[in-house]
């Protein structure tokens, strides 16, 4: 393990998959839920799940304020799918939640859960190889504001973007065998994740989650 930890918001959604990916990279990764868990985090991942549910829980337990305080102190943020919805400054037709990155997002933009799909694409800033992409009842990023860079444009939407402090992806890198986005985020947090050559060679990339990790 090296450096400060990265937390994964542990309220609902895909938590252990993110933790597993970060740990494979040698990062101290942990589920966070209570106020004390957020102390000293280099970064925080807001996972995919259901943004309406996550937003309610954030408000009920006043975790929204804890995240905003951490962000102001330099904690980097990455939202995947529902997490990106929570971070967006503007939501088409709905009130925004945390509003920490200047993007406009429209929820459920591909249709129902049955319209979920996987593909791959080149994302030059993240990896020299094509990156596998998994979209699950995904939103679309319709627009990015000043100071926000589109990392991946597809058809009529933006699938990944970042500001200096916040990364957003509308797909789920934690559900693929590719560690490139997690490595990128760890570096954005000032950490030193393992290079490809330093990874455990026994890692079975077809079964990459260890669901028993979260107590
Ligand atoms: N459709 C969900 C929402 O609107 C997001 C789905 C996901 O995170 N995979 O919150």
Q: What pLDDT score was predicted for residue 154?
A: 97
Instruction: Tell me if 107 CB under 6 Å of ligand 1.
Output: yes
Radius of gyration of the CA atoms of the chain, in A: 16
Considering only CA atoms, which residue is closest to atom 2 of ligand 1?
Answer: 50
**For residue 29, which of 163, 177, 182 has the smallest C-alpha distance?**
182
* Residue 194 annotated as catalytic: no
DSSP symbol at 168: E
Say yes or no: CB of residue 108 within 6 Å of ligand 1.
yes
Between 80-84, 168-172, 200-204, the lowest mean confidence (pLDDT) is in 200-204
Does the CA dihedral 113-166-58-16 come out positive or negative? positive
- CB within 8 Å of 155: residues ≥ 6 apart: none
pLDDT at 213: 42
**Residue 64 beta carbon below 6 angstroms from any ligand 1 atom:** no
Ligand 1 atom with the shortest distance to the CA of 47: 8
Verify whether residue 172 is a known catalytic residue: yes
> 103-148 pLDDT, tens per residue?
999 999 998 889 899 999 999 999 999 999 999 999 999 999 999 9
Question: Among 48, 111, 171, which residue has the most ligand 1 atoms within 8 Å of its CB, making it the best to mutate?
Answer: 48
Helix (H, G, I), strand (E, B) or coil at 198: helix
DSSP string, 101-120: EEEEEETTTT-SGGG-EEEE
Determine the Cα–Cα distance for residues 6 and 161; give it in Å rounded to an integer: 20
Confidence of residue 215 (pLDDT cuts 50, 70, 90): very low
Residue 108, by phi and psi: left (phi above 0), alpha (psi -120 to 50) or beta?
left
Rounded to an integer, the average pLDDT of 194-206 is 80
pLDDT digits over 83-103, tens only?
999 999 999 999 999 999 999
Q: How far is the CA of 50 from the centre of ligand 1 (A)?
A: 5
The predicted pLDDT at position 91 comes to: 98
Which of 81, 109, 178, 189 does the annotation list as catalytic? 81
Parallel, antiparallel, or unpaired: how do β-strands 27-32 and 117-121 relate?
Answer: unpaired
pLDDT at 209: 55
Distance (Å, whole) CA 122 – CA 191: 24
């Amino acid at each position: 393990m090296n450096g400060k930890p990265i937390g994964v918001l542990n309220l609902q959604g895909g938590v252990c998959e993110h933790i597993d990916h970060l740990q494979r990279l040698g990062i101290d990764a942990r589920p966070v839920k209570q106020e004390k868990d957020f102390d000293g985090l280099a970064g925080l991942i807001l996972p995919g799940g259901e943004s309406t549910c996550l937003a309610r829980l954030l408000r009920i337990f006043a975790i929204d304020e804890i995240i905003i305080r951490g962000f102001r102190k330099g904690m980097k943020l990455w939202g995947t799918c529902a997490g990106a919805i929570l971070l967006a400054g503007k939501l088409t037709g709905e009130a925004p939640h945390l509003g920490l990155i200047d993007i406009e997002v429209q929820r459920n933009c591909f249709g129902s859960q049955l319209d979920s799909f996987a593909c791959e694409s080149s994302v030059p800033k993240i990896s020299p190889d094509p990156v596998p992409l998994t979209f699950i009842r995904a939103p679309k990023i319709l627009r990015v504001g000043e100071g926000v860079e589109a990392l991946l444009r597809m058809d009529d939407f933006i699938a990944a973007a970042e500001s200096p402090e916040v990364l957003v992806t509308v797909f789920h890198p934690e559900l693929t065998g590719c560690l490139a986005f997690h490595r990128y985020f760890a570096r954005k947090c000032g950490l030193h994740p393992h290079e490809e050559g330093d990874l455990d060679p026994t890692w079975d990339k077809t079964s990459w989650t260890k669901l028993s990790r979260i107590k």
